[in-house]
Structure 1
Amino acid sequence: MVDWSRFQKLWTYRFHKYTHIAGKFWSFALKYVQLRQLKRQIGTRQLVVIILSEQMGDIIACEPVAREVRRLHPNDYIIWMVRKAYVELVRYHPNLDGYVIEKCPGERVQLLRSGIFDVVYNMHISHRKCKYCPEDPINPTADKIGLTFDNYYDRGDLLYMFSQAAGLPAITADPKMYIPQSVRQTTGALSIPANPIVIHCQSSHVMRDWPAANWNKLIAWLISTYHYPIIEVGLTTTITETHPKFRSLAGQLSLLETAEVIRQARLFIGIDSGPAHMANAMDTEAIILLGKLFDFVDYLPYSGRFKRGEDITILNDYGHPCAELPYSWVQEAVQERLGQPKLV
């Protein structure tokens, strides 16, 4: 008897695979032509590419690489290769001349093999493949220093590690984000109360998360104890509270709008995630909840202020996942940061 559901899944997968691969080669061809035209336009200037296409937190953390590459190439044309979802993070950087959107790691391999770039600073670790493409992305520089997915968090913070993977000296600078006036105006139209507590509850990986029940308990306590308004950011809403002092903007903001909301915060409370890196880059006081991630126990992804311990409380029950972080630790950290309650 034919298993039609299995048959359907197989051919659905094959359809997505082959259409993706065909789209990859078409996308590569278009980009190659566009980059050739760009090279003619820039004349004798070298075309320099910085490659770190994902994840959000990684790109924010490694922003100082753009400044260092500009220092090394003051007169050259510098672009950042990035996935479409994260274009905002590099679009307004004053040390970049532009960006190129990466369809997938397989397309990245094709672009690098073409020799279209004069200088390459590739921050990716080897062997993070596209689920459909046969190409295996290799970074010889990362391989030479022994940087792998099994040890990268043991080697230092994200900027420290990935700058070396790109062939640069280890960088330890403070990350920055660049918010255009148009984004500030859009965010201003949201009528966000002054000095909110901004929270972020869910990451891209469940191993980084803290239980929803704990978050809801924390928000109920904050509402009953402090006068600060509370705003949730991120992709999806975790908090079920309907109190007037709480407002969820989850799923409603762009990346830079999220960063601008975090910039205005009296305190940011969140798990290890892109918004946590935004808090670091936007000079916002923060409480970050960490925990064991795979085999990584004692790690710190952040450079700059957070690495120096400025305006930051890092909570980590070493050897235990974030989900097991005691609720009382978070409440006590909030009390230390906000001081005595000022009820209204």
Structure 2
Amino acid sequence: MTDWSRLRALWIYRFHKYTHIVGKFWSSAVKYVQLRRLKQKIGSRQLVVIILSEQMGDIIACEPVVREVRRLHPNDYIIWMVRKPYIELVEFHPDLDGYLIEKCPGERVRLLRSGIFDKVYNMHISHRKCKYCLEDPVNPTADSINLTFDNYYDRGDLLYMFSQAAGLPALTADPKMHIPEIVRQKIVTMAIPASPIVIHCQSSHVMRDWPAANWTKLVNWLLATYPYPIIEVGLTPTVTEEHPKFRSLCGQLSLLETAEVIRQARLFIGIDSGPAHMANAMDTEGIILLGKLFDFVDYLPYSGRFKRGEDITILNDYGHPCAELPYTWVQKAVQERLGQPKLV
């Protein structure tokens, strides 16, 4: 890179950094004023905040926290602090009175320091900072149980540990998702075939993924062997096969629309990701492909039904990444779930 290119990249970074920081101060001030007005409106009710602002799977897995907090605060005003891309996951929950959009962890720190909330249930682990801000988010409750990014998957599933980070008992309930009728009707208009096999092939981290060639091979075998149509969901398509019974909806669905498609599935097959948590929450039978993730070898992110082993096959070649999971293992798991192949 030339000196001019380095200088240009530096100034672009600085522009984004300082623009973000100014926006953070403004956004946190506006939200503080809005929350003060809300507190005046709700009167003697406490303003309670649940905080888990990002990662689709984490938010879905920790849905039972809402029900527990509502049990503890039956008459109070409960909101969930969440990043903008994940609003759908909380906005229709019947036990929430609303949500608050988090700009970044730095803004979260400022709002918590303001004392605007009467009760805080913070599920975040300490020290996950914004790339631009100086504020270091700390969760004393998580620190008190020595919950860190280096050990959290060794301590239990996501709900089990994050509920404790929030100062609640270790929860083990089944997660649920709340799909409004407007979303269900949207999926009806898309003419989704009945009882499809739904696959999800790419996660937010390459270490969780299974090779594209294996997915293509699996889809071709499924199409040749079983009568079920196949739908791929996610952001980016992995399988590019053209077949009357194969349909890619990648990049075409909202989060709740994806969940509704998964709810209708005969079988969900996917890697460890948000849609896998949707399958758990929507009572869909599943096959989940796991593998070594950083230093985590023997881990299970799921609570409830999947943790109890109900309607789920978990595949993990312990000590090996998901990419090395044998194709034959997945094929065998499908046969066990769908029955022996019958040529169509």
Match of 2:131 in 1: 131
1:220 partnered with 2:220: yes
How far does the alpha carbon of each residue in 1:279-304 deviate from its partner, in whole angstroms, 9 at most, with x for none?
A: 00000000000000000000000000
In structure 2, C-alpha distance between the alignment counterparts of 1:334 and 1:2, rounded to whole Å: 53
In structure 1, C-alpha distance between the alignment counterparts of 2:206 and 2:267, rounded to whole Å: 24
In structure 2, C-alpha distance between the alignment counterparts of 1:190 and 1:331, rounded to whole Å: 29
How far does the alpha carbon of each residue in 1:154-191 deviate from its partner, in whole angstroms, 9 at most, with x for none?
A: 00000000000000000000000000000000011110
Q: Secondary structure at 2:167's aligned position in 1?
A: coil
How far does the alpha carbon of each residue in 1:180-209 deviate from its partner, in whole angstroms, 9 at most, with x for none?
A: 000000011110010000000000000000
Match of 1:343 in 2: 343
State the shift of 1:82 in Å.
0.2
**How many residue pairs get matched?**
344
> Which sections of structure 2, spanning at least 5 residues, go unmatched?
none
State the shift of 1:269 in Å.
0.1
1:147 partnered with 2:141: no
Match of 2:57 in 1: 57
Match of 1:6 in 2: 6
Match of 1:180 in 2: 180
1:46 partnered with 2:46: yes
Match of 1:35 in 2: 35
In structure 2, C-alpha distance between the alignment counterparts of 1:37 and 1:186, rounded to whole Å: 36
Q: Secondary structure at 1:310's aligned position in 2?
A: coil
Q: Secondary structure at 2:332's aligned position in 1?
A: helix
**TM-score scaled by length of structure 1:** 0.99
One-letter identity of the residue aligned with 1:149? F
Over the residues paired in the alignment, what is the CA RMSD in angstroms? Answer: 0.9
Match of 1:93 in 2: 93
State the shift of 1:2 in Å.
6.7
Match of 1:305 in 2: 305
State the shift of 1:342 in Å.
3.6
In structure 1, C-alpha distance between the alignment counterparts of 2:277 and 2:143, rounded to whole Å: 26
In structure 2, C-alpha distance between the alignment counterparts of 1:272 and 1:219, rounded to whole Å: 19
Match of 1:67 in 2: 67
In structure 1, C-alpha distance between the alignment counterparts of 2:343 and 2:71, rounded to whole Å: 50
How far does the alpha carbon of each residue in 1:1-53 deviate from its partner, in whole angstroms, 9 at most, with x for none?
A: 97100001100000000000001111101111110000000000000000000
In structure 1, C-alpha distance between the alignment counterparts of 2:2 and 2:79, rounded to whole Å: 52
**TM-score scaled by length of structure 2:** 0.99
In structure 2, C-alpha distance between the alignment counterparts of 1:262 and 1:341, rounded to whole Å: 23
In structure 2, C-alpha distance between the alignment counterparts of 1:295 and 1:341, rounded to whole Å: 37
Match of 2:22 in 1: 22
One-letter identity of the residue aligned with 1:257? E
State the shift of 1:240 in Å.
1.2
In structure 1, C-alpha distance between the alignment counterparts of 2:54 and 2:288, rounded to whole Å: 21
Match of 1:190 in 2: 190
In structure 2, C-alpha distance between the alignment counterparts of 1:322 and 1:2, rounded to whole Å: 39
In structure 2, C-alpha distance between the alignment counterparts of 1:38 and 1:185, rounded to whole Å: 33
* Percent identity of equivalent pairs: 86
Q: Please, which moves more after superposition, 333-342 or 160-169?
A: 333-342
> Which sections of structure 1, spanning at least 5 residues, go unmatched?
none
How far does the alpha carbon of each residue in 1:70-116 deviate from its partner, in whole angstroms, 9 at most, with x for none?
A: 00000000000000000000000000000000000000000000000
